[in-house]
Structure formats: C-alpha cells, structure tokens
Amino acid sequence: QSALTQPPSASGSPGQSVTISCTGTSSDVGGYTYVSWYQQHPGKAPKLMIYEVNKRPSGVPDRFSGSKSGNTASLTVSGLQAEDEADYYCTSYAGSNNYVFGSGTKVTVL
C-alpha cells in the first residue's frame, strides 16, 4: 500500500492561513470518511488534530479544520501561530482493516 501524497513543506506568516493536501485513491481517502490529521513536534509523539475528515477532538483550537473532496483531503490552519510549526501527517482507513499514512508536511511559520 503506497503512502498518501502530501507536499513536503508549507509555510505562512503569523496570522495567515496554510492548507495542506493529502491525496490518495478511491480505496482509501476517497472511499471512507475516516481521514485524520496528526501534528508532530520534533522528538514528540503525534497528536490527533482532526478525525473523521472534519471533527476536532476536545482541546484542539478551532483554527484547525479539515475537509475532503474526492480522493484528496485537506487540513487548514487559520491564524497561524508560532506553536503551529510542526510536521503534519494525514492518515486514512484503507479497507480490510488497514490504515495508510501520508508522507508528511513540514509547516514553517515565517
């Protein structure tokens, strides 16, 4: 199973918005509503930021939002803050009790 495709990097100035794409196939992203997004700071464990395409766990700021169109899911971070600088990974349920992760995107706050 191939990793979902994410851009290697994205950036924005404080207060701006950045959107990260996550492209898969009809067998994963396009076939299920089980797309989630994780934030990972250096040396730390991933943290769930978005689940089921666009739902936020308790405690995650509403600056983080998710969406999906066809085989591509997206994470938008609005009102960028310095602490948002991190790696972001998408993942999707891929059927037959399997999961596939994205290749990861490094977000830089300029």
Site residues for another protein per CB under 8 A? 1, 3, 32, 34, 36, 38, 44-48, 51-52, 57, 89, 91, 93, 97-104
Please state, in angstroms and rounded to a whole number, the distance separating the CA atoms of residues 82 and 62.
16
Nearest CB to another protein, comparing residues 53 and 80: 53
Query: Which CB, 4 or 79, lies closer to another protein?
Result: 4
Distance, in Å, from the CA atom of 100 to the CA atom of 71, rounded to the nearest integer, reads 13
Residue (of 39, 10, 13) closest to 109 by Cα position: 13
Closest CB 27 distance from another protein, rounded Å: 13
